[in-house]
């Protein structure tokens, strides 16, 4: 097969640059001298019989192999999965792999894997579990001989990509062939793929179309302790699939001491045909490889944690030996502020106390990638030979706790707080709240100090507070979210009886009731709680139910093309940027796109300008000039493409009203109501305040709005709870439209008495009068 065949693949995708070796955040994971592999993704003439008799795995007995056999096969000379001669690079990596802590327990792992269907595996940081366990499984499960795959899930995309690349290197294959990955917008797998790293959300999507996950012979859920929504649902699902598919092997990998909880959860006992079926889930633990971290507590509680944090950082700089510092704070503003203060104080220390140079870097999710990358710059050297050490301080959010790993951190300062999502089912609002972290989180933070050598962690709370006040684990996401989307997914997965669906931590009944109610109003579920045709369609879209319903209904309003754009814009980060240093100029630029009837329309105008020929000639320049986020707009483009494909597949019409038609914007405003009729607020009469229709909450229009405050009724995209109650991204609508488009929700016979009902009744009369006039003509 010629080189040309390999590179001229039809499947090569160009949506995004996804070569993980190009990812600056992962550069520390790659040996610079081992870059001999391109990422050309090949779809060659493989016909399913490439693994022939001479294959060293030929005599392996499935689910009865030994570690010794696997070692032999791994030792070459040929690659047991491709029959190709193994390269030098492979053997070099093999040496380091054999040194990993998991490797010592390979036989033990296999024994356990053979003896059971579900296995709980606990491996601490540095044990090598994410890269090695899936390979241990491959050599025993031999999925290529059965036309199956092994899947390994990750909570984050970058992890799925980078680990897949690493394992492809370890196995001496091209990424996308035997080893691949699958994440939203990027599928690097092919017909030869036997090991697939993927995001947990991606596997959940697949399950919606293949409830028994028949493509897989083994599913490995990695980082299960993070308890993402997708992981929790998958675990519940896998418990059921395990009973339907005795041939499916399941490995749950976790990093915490909470392993017994997983073990207990996966011990299944079920009566089938008067026989008791019992699946035990044995537990295997492997030590990690990290350096010790000494923990320090404060003597007394700190009143002002930011002030205490700054003091601690400066004290470390003044008194501790060489090594970088990581400080955890809660959000952008707090971090930027702290960075300024640290830099100022450090300058003074350098001038007056002969301290070493100190460089300060902020780190949070919304920071542009180029600036995020700076945290990997080396610390400054001492200002004179033999002088006090220079160092860097990184002031970051929780992103530094799991998502990004920075080597060289020796000192961690942990004030013990983070912003967490909380959901209040009573007022049906999700909000962000600064809250104390959990013990597990505190341990994870401390661990960041011991990656390269022994370190120190300064906790800005007392030891007693740590022991008594911090909860063990952060509450899993499923207990902190609006579950409308989750319930829709579960229904699509065939879970009819939600109350008895076995989740590891069942949410409050009220949260479930709220979700069912919301889906019922959206006509996604009927009165029996069964999925409707609309619900079926909505579940196909990777969107919140209200957005999905809005999009599906949009052809009826002759504006599905526009709603496609708007839906995409509403599911990416804010497209308007407003740097603190140029607020006025940013506002002036936004004014160019402003539509007086609403922020949704303003967003759409900006998007259309971005898609225009002038902007497309130089998107970067256009965005910079107009204070728009190129990243957000490009991401909206990606989302739009994906949604458009689903629209086409579902045979939903793509239509527009002529731009010069006077109904162009009216149609869009009406279409908003089809999904967001539960998010309407009415002016309170007295002045600036509005009242929500849903639960009579007093709210203000968010100051970022371009809408004049004289609109009687508005539809809002979100409710933000900060110093005040705000509704954000608002567009003016009419009461008549509400009655017309959402007659069940706005049924005047059952609508609760009050100002809103009176106003709706007036609108109803107006409609009747108009009808009568038309009828009389």
Partner DNA sequence: GAGCACTGC
Q: Does 254 help bind DNA (rule: CB under 7 A)?
A: no
Nearer to DNA, 100 or 326 (CB): 326
Q: Are β-strands 429-436 and 417-424 bridged in parallel, bridged antiparallel, or unpaired?
A: antiparallel
**Residue of 191, 365, 454, 509 interacting with DNA (CB under 7 A):** 365
> Any residues with CB less than 8 A from the CB of 454 and at least 6 apart, and which?
291, 292, 293, 294, 410
Nearer to DNA, 333 or 618 (CB): 333
Nearer to DNA, 158 or 630 (CB): 158
Cα separation, 383 vs 169, whole angstroms = 41
Among 544, 421, 29, 439, which Cα is nearest to 225's? 439
Among 374, 418, 380, which Cα is nearest to 394's? 374
Mark the segment that binds DNA (CB under 7 A) among 136-144, 200-208, 343-351, 674-682.
200-208
Give the number of C-alpha atoms closer than 13 A to the C-alpha of residue 247, restricted to the C-beta side: 13
**Residue of 21, 254, 397, 561 interacting with DNA (CB under 7 A):** 397
Report 520-549 residues binding DNA (CB under 7 A).
542-543
**Residue of 129, 144, 157, 249 interacting with DNA (CB under 7 A):** 157
Mark the segment that binds DNA (CB under 7 A) among 83-91, 255-263, 412-420, 492-500.
412-420
Q: Does 228 help bind DNA (rule: CB under 7 A)?
A: yes
Cα separation, 234 vs 478, whole angstroms = 12
Mark the segment that binds DNA (CB under 7 A) among 287-295, 300-308, 391-399, 761-769.
391-399
Cα separation, 640 vs 543, whole angstroms = 11
Mark the segment that binds DNA (CB under 7 A) among 4-12, 202-210, 491-499, 530-538.
202-210
Residue 129: count other Cβ atoms within 10 Å of its Cβ.
27
For the bound state, the minimum distance from the C-beta of residue 389 to DNA, rounded and expressed in Å, comes to: 29
Q: Which two tokens stand for residue 44?
A: 């060659």
Q: Does 337 help bind DNA (rule: CB under 7 A)?
A: no
> Any residues with CB less than 8 A from the CB of 701 and at least 6 apart, and which?
688, 690, 707, 709, 714, 726, 727, 730
For the bound state, the minimum distance from the C-beta of residue 757 to DNA, rounded and expressed in Å, comes to: 30
**Residue of 726, 737, 745, 746 interacting with DNA (CB under 7 A):** 726
Q: Does 155 help bind DNA (rule: CB under 7 A)?
A: yes
Q: Does 630 help bind DNA (rule: CB under 7 A)?
A: no
Q: Does 333 help bind DNA (rule: CB under 7 A)?
A: yes
Among 363, 318, 321, which Cα is nearest to 456's? 321
**Residue of 276, 722, 752, 774 interacting with DNA (CB under 7 A):** 722
**Residue of 183, 248, 281, 636 interacting with DNA (CB under 7 A):** 183
How long a stretch of residues is the chain?
A: 777
For the bound state, the minimum distance from the C-beta of residue 341 to DNA, rounded and expressed in Å, comes to: 17
Q: Does 574 help bind DNA (rule: CB under 7 A)?
A: yes
Q: Does 205 help bind DNA (rule: CB under 7 A)?
A: yes
Question: What's the burial of 664, exposed, middle or buried (CB within 10 Å: 0-12/13-18/19+)?
Answer: middle
Q: Does 465 help bind DNA (rule: CB under 7 A)?
A: no
Report 418-437 residues binding DNA (CB under 7 A).
418-421, 432
Which CA distances in Å does 673 have to 563, 596, 715?
12, 18, 7
> Any residues with CB less than 8 A from the CB of 246 and at least 6 apart, and which?
117
Q: Where are the beta strands (DSSP E) in 126-228?
A: 149-154, 179-183, 186-188, 195-199, 216-221
Q: Does 585 help bind DNA (rule: CB under 7 A)?
A: no
Report 8-67 residues binding DNA (CB under 7 A).
none
Q: Does 341 help bind DNA (rule: CB under 7 A)?
A: no
Q: Which two tokens stand for residue 414?
A: 């942990």
The residue written with tokens 């999507």 in the block is 205
For the bound state, the minimum distance from the C-beta of residue 485 to DNA, rounded and expressed in Å, comes to: 6
Q: Does 318 help bind DNA (rule: CB under 7 A)?
A: no
Among 369, 318, 364, which Cα is nearest to 342's? 318
Q: Are 252 and 265 in contact (CB under 8 A)?
A: no
Mark the segment that binds DNA (CB under 7 A) among 189-197, 326-334, 436-444, 646-654.
326-334
Q: Does 702 help bind DNA (rule: CB under 7 A)?
A: yes
**In what order do the strands lie in the sheet containing 324-328?**
293-297, 455-459, 409-414, 324-328, 391-396, 358-363
Q: Does 724 help bind DNA (rule: CB under 7 A)?
A: yes
Q: Are 672 and 731 in contact (CB under 8 A)?
A: yes
Q: Does 621 help bind DNA (rule: CB under 7 A)?
A: no
For the bound state, the minimum distance from the C-beta of residue 580 to DNA, rounded and expressed in Å, comes to: 7
Residue 312: what are its φ and ψ, rounded to 5°? Answer: -65, -45
Mark the segment that binds DNA (CB under 7 A) among 171-179, 380-388, 573-581, 677-685.
573-581
Cα separation, 187 vs 43, whole angstroms = 13
Q: Does 723 help bind DNA (rule: CB under 7 A)?
A: yes
**Residue of 150, 173, 230, 460 interacting with DNA (CB under 7 A):** 230
Q: Does 374 help bind DNA (rule: CB under 7 A)?
A: no
Mark the segment that binds DNA (CB under 7 A) among 124-132, 656-664, 670-678, 718-726.
718-726
Q: Which two tokens stand for residue 312?
A: 């601690």
Q: Does 719 help bind DNA (rule: CB under 7 A)?
A: no
Alpha helices (runs of H) in 171-244, residue ranges in sequence order: 200-209, 229-244
Q: Which two tokens stand for residue 497?
A: 């009886």
Each residue 483-522 as x (binds DNA by CB under 7 A) or -, in order, gives --x-------------------------------------
Q: Are 194 and 145 in contact (CB under 8 A)?
A: no
Mark the segment that binds DNA (CB under 7 A) among 2-10, 78-86, 196-204, 300-308.
196-204
Nearer to DNA, 442 or 543 (CB): 543
Residues that bind DNA (CB under 7 A): 155-158, 183-184, 199-202, 204-205, 228-230, 330-333, 364-366, 397-399, 403, 418-421, 432, 485, 542-543, 571, 573-574, 578, 580, 583, 587, 702-704, 720, 722-724, 726
């Amino acid at each position: 097969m010629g080189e040309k065949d390999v590179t001229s693949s039809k499947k090569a995708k160009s949506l995004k640059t996804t070569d993980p070796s190009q990812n600056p955040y992962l550069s520390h994971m790659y040996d610079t001298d081992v870059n001999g592999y391109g990422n050309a993704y090949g779809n060659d003439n493989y016909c399913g019989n490439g693994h022939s008799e001479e294959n060293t795995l030929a005599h392996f007995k499935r689910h009865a192999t030994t570690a010794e056999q696997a070692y032999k096969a791994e030792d070459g000379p040929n690659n047991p999965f491709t029959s190709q001669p193994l390269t030098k690079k492979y053997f070099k990596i093999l040496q380091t792999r054999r040194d990993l802590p998991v490797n010592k327990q390979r036989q033990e792992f296999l024994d356990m894997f053979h003896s059971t269907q579900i296995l709980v595996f606990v491996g601490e940081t540095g044990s090598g579990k994410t890269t090695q366990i899936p390979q241990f499984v491959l050599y025993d499960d031999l999925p290529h001989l059965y036309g199956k795959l092994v899947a390994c899930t990750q909570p984050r995309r970058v992890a799925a990509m980078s680990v897949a690349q690493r394992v492809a290197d370890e196995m001496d294959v091209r990424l996308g062939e035997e080893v691949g990955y699958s994440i939203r917008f990027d599928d690097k797998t092919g017909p030869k793929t036997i090991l697939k790293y993927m995001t947990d959300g991606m596997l959940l999507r697949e399950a919606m179309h293949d409830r028994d996950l028949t493509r897989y012979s083994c599913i490995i859920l990695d980082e299960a302790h993070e308890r993402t929504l997708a992981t929790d649902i998958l675990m519940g699902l896998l418990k059921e699939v395990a009973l339907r598919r005795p041939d499916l092997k399941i490995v749950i990998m976790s990093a915490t001491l909470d392993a017994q909880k997983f073990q207990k959860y996966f011990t299944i006992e079920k009566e089938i045909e008067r026989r008791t079926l019992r699946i035990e889930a044995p537990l295997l633990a492997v030590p990690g490889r990290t350096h010790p971290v000494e923990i320090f507590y404060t003597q007394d509680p700190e009143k002002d944690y930011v002030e205490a944090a700054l003091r601690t950082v400066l004290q470390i700089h003044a008194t501790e030996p060489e090594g970088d510092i990581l400080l955890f704070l809660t959000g952008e503003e707090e971090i930027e502020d702290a960075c300024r203060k640290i830099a100022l104080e450090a300058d003074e220390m350098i001038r007056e106390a002969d301290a070493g140079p100190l460089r300060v870097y902020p780190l949070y999710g919304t920071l542009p990638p180029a600036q995020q990358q700076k945290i990997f710059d080396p610390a400054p050297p001492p200002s004179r030979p033999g002088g006090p050490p220079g160092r860097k301080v990184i002031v970051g959010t929780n992103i530094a706790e799991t998502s990004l790993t920075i080597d060289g951190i020796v000192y961690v300062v942990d004030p013990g707080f983070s912003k967490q999502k909380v959901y209040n089912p009573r007022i049906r609002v999700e909000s962000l709240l600064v809250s104390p972290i959990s013990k597990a989180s505190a341990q994870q933070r401390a661990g960041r100090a011991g990656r390269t050598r022994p370190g120190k962690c300064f906790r800005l709370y007392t030891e007693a507070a740590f022991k008594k006040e911090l909860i063990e684990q952060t509450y899993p996401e499923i207990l902190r979210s609006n579950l409308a989307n989750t319930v829709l997914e579960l229904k699509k997965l065939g879970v009819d009886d939600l109350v008895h669906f076995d989740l590891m931590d069942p949410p409050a009944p009220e949260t479930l009731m709220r979700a069912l109610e919301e889906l019922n109003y959206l006509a996604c579920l009927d009165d029996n709680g069964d999925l409707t045709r609309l619900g079926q369609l909505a579940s196909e879209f990777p969107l919140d139910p209200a957005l999905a319903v809005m999009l599906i209904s949009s052809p009826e309003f002759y504006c599905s093309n526009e709603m496609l754009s708007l839906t995409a814009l509403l599911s990416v980060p804010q497209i308007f940027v407003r740097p603190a240093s140029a607020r006025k100029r940013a506002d002036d630029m936004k004014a160019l796109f402003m539509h007086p009837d609403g922020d949704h329309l303003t967003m759409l105008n900006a998007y259309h300008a971005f898609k225009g020929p002038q902007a497309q000639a130089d998107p970067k320049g256009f965005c910079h000039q107009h204070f728009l986020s190129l990243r957000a707009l490009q991401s909206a483009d990606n989302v739009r493409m994906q949604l458009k494909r689903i629209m086409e597949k579902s045979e939903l019409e793509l239509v527009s009203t002529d731009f010069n038609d006077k109904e162009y914007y009216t149609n869009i405003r009406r279409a908003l109501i089809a999904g967001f009729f539960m998010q309407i607020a009415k002016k309170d009469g007295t002045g600036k305040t509005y009242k929500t229709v849903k639960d009579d909450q007093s709210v203000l229009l968010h100051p970022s709005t371009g809408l004049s405050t004289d609109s009687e009724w508005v539809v809002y995209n979100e409710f933000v709870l900060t110093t005040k109650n705000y509704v954000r991204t608002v567009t003016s609508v009419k009461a008549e439209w509400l009655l017309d488009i959402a007659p069940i929700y706005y049924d005047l016979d059952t609508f609760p008495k009050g100002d809103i009902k009176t106003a709706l009744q007036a609108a109803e009369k107006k409609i009747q009068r108009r009808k009568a006039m038309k009828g009389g003509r």
